[in-house]
Structure 1
């Protein structure tokens, strides 16, 4: 197929573009600017690189027109965040493109009622991001059911990998957390440390998208979680991280108000967003229908990201990771 990727040099697209090229597809890799992908790969030499600023093209109503100029068979949308943007794309691609894969989020679930969460579970999203992603999913599946643009939705967990900050054991991206752990010092954690986070390596998210495109008979009109095989609790994640540097865990649980005071309002708010949801997602549907096989555990995905940070961000006094 000829596949157009919106957001091709981001976390997922960095891995998806080489995957699709190696699978024999033609790829039109669209990004907002000229930034290179997080990891260079010789397969990128075979991609057709184009510039598309999604905000600007949505504003002037030309997103679909610019995409269709490249005559794709399928479109992967990794940078759609509002129902209005999704509606514009659907209406423009309808009748011209055979397959459409949208990047959603496990936050579309909101608070869970049963664990692990299944894709078809009732959803109770909250917050602007999760609510918007849920609304997009509903409109895409209504469109598919009506015989219009055939869509699939992939819901990633907390995307990890080398090149960007990873959600840490207390649910935020404060680099001081990793520095504290690296030195073997005491880490303050909110609550009883039993809240969960479900990480995933960016390449495993790309794997789900690749499989979705290759088996449309199993994926159209369906959603799939893109997460590792198992989630981590705050305690389990922190204990594993101390071990990366050869330290015994040193955790101190505190009530949320005290944690907010110590972490700062911004980092504490991010922690609450992740830990209040306390999500654990099933991958059984992706395994059964798509043949999804995660290549990274939650720990391994996070560790790769932290190893990159330790090597590239000396400002935060991170020490090199100790080999396992």
Structure 2
């Protein structure tokens, strides 16, 4: 197939492009050209590249026609963040004699607050809040409630793996959390640490996109969760992370007020955004319809992120070393 990947040089694309190229597809990457993939692979020498500033071209009304002019069999859109942008691309693709399969990268945050777990991929009703989740849900409904362009939505969890500053066990990116866990120091957590987060390795997200694009008859009209087989609670995640360094987690439960007082405002707000949602996502539809089989557990994916940050970003782990494989 001739496959267009929009925004391919990020974390998902780093794994997706080699998958598509090795499978024999003709791949064109659409990118601003301002970033490079996280990992080297010969596949990047066997693709076509189109440089485009999506935001500027959306405003000018030229981005959708530019993609349609490439006459793709499938379009994988990894960087669409507004309903208006999605509608512009949809209208352009709908004008082709044979519209391509359009695959959109969403987010598990389209669910909003959890009320029954696990969350099903194609839930009849979702209650997103916050601009990011609301816009992504609007895009999902725009694409799946129309029949002009065959569409699929993939909702990743908290993306992890080498090259990524992973969401830590208290739901933010404060690197002092990793320092505390690596050294066995006390770590304050909000509540009793029972809230859940659902991580995923970027290669497993890429796997699900590849499965969907190569099985359109099973994927069109559906949304799928790209997450690990199991979510982790704050407590469980912290205990596993401490064990990476041969430590036991020293968790100090407390109120949200206590937690906010122990960190900076931005980190506290980020923790609240992640933990209040308490997401545990089903992958039943992906498994049964597409054969999705996540390779990495949530903690394995996060560990790879931390190992990369130690080696490349100088993450402070107090002189501790990762134990085991």
TM-score normalised according to structure 2 size: 0.96
5+ residue gaps, structure 1, are none
Per-residue displacement from partner, 1:232-285 (whole Å, max 9, x unpaired)? 000000000000000112111110011111111100000000000000000011
> Residues 120, 267 of structure 1: CA spacing in aligned structure 2 closer, same or farther, 3 A cutoff?
same
Query: What does residue 106 of structure 1 align with?
Result: 108
Contact 1:16–1:206 at 8 Å: present in 2 too? yes
- 1:186 is matched with 186
C-alpha distance in structure 2 between counterparts of 1:5 and 1:98, whole Å: 12
Q: CA RMSD in A?
A: 1.2
Contact 1:310 1:321 in 2 (8 A): no
1:51 alignment partner in structure 2: 51
Structure 1 consecutive aligned stretches of length 4 or more whose deviation exceeds 6 Å: none
Q: Give the aligned partner of residue 204 of structure 1.
A: 204
The answer to whether 1:247 aligns with 2:256 is no
Residue of structure 1 equivalent to 2:64: 64
CA positional deviation for 1:120? 2.3
Confirm or deny: 8 A CA contact 1:307 1:320 kept in the other structure.
no
Contact 2:117 2:281 in 1 (8 A): yes
One of 108, 130, 134 as aligned partner of 2:133:
130
What does 1:200-279 correspond to in 2, within 5 Å?
200-279=200-279
1:14 aligns with 2:17: no
Distance across 2 between alignment mates of 1:274 and 1:282: 18
CA distance in 1, matches of 2:309, 2:171: 17
Question: What is aligned with 1:118?
Answer: 120
1:284 equivalent in structure 2: 284
Count matched residues. Answer: 321
Give me the TM-score of the superposition, normalised by structure 1: 0.96
- Where 2:113 maps in the other structure, the secondary structure is coil
* Partner in structure 2 of residue 322 of structure 1: 323
1:140 maps to 2:138 = no
CA deviations 1:162-208 (Å, max 9, x no partner) are: 10200000000111111111122111111110000000000100111
Residue 118 of structure 1 deviates from its aligned partner by 0.5
Deviations 1:114-138 (A, max 9, x none): 1111012220111111111111111
Check conservation: 2:183, 2:317, Cα contact below 8 A. Answer: no
Distance in 2 (CA, whole Å) between partners of 1:293 and 1:317 is 32
Q: CA deviation at 1:77?
A: 0.4
CA distance in structure 1 between the aligned counterparts of 2:43 and 2:17, rounded to whole angstroms: 8
CA-to-aligned-CA distance 1:53-89 (integer Å, 9 cap, x gap): 1111111111112212322111000000111011111
| 2:122/2:222 contact within 8 Å kept | no
C-alpha separation in 2, matches of 1:65 and 1:228: 36
Instruction: Give the CA deviation at 1:157.
Output: 0.5
Further displaced range: 218-227 or 174-183: 174-183
- Cα deviation, residue 317, structure 1: 4.8
Post-superposition offset of 1:315: 5.8
- Asked if the contact 2:228–2:298 (Cα under 8 Å) also holds between the matched residues in 1, the reply is yes
Q: CA deviation at 1:50?
A: 2.0
SS in 1 for 2:276: helix
Query: For the Cα contact (< 8 Å) 1:167–1:173, is it kept in 2?
Result: yes
Give the match's secondary structure for 2:14.
Answer: helix
What pairs up with 1:70-109 in 2 under 5 angstroms?
Answer: 70-96=70-96, 97-109=99-111
Local SS of the residue matching 2:225: strand
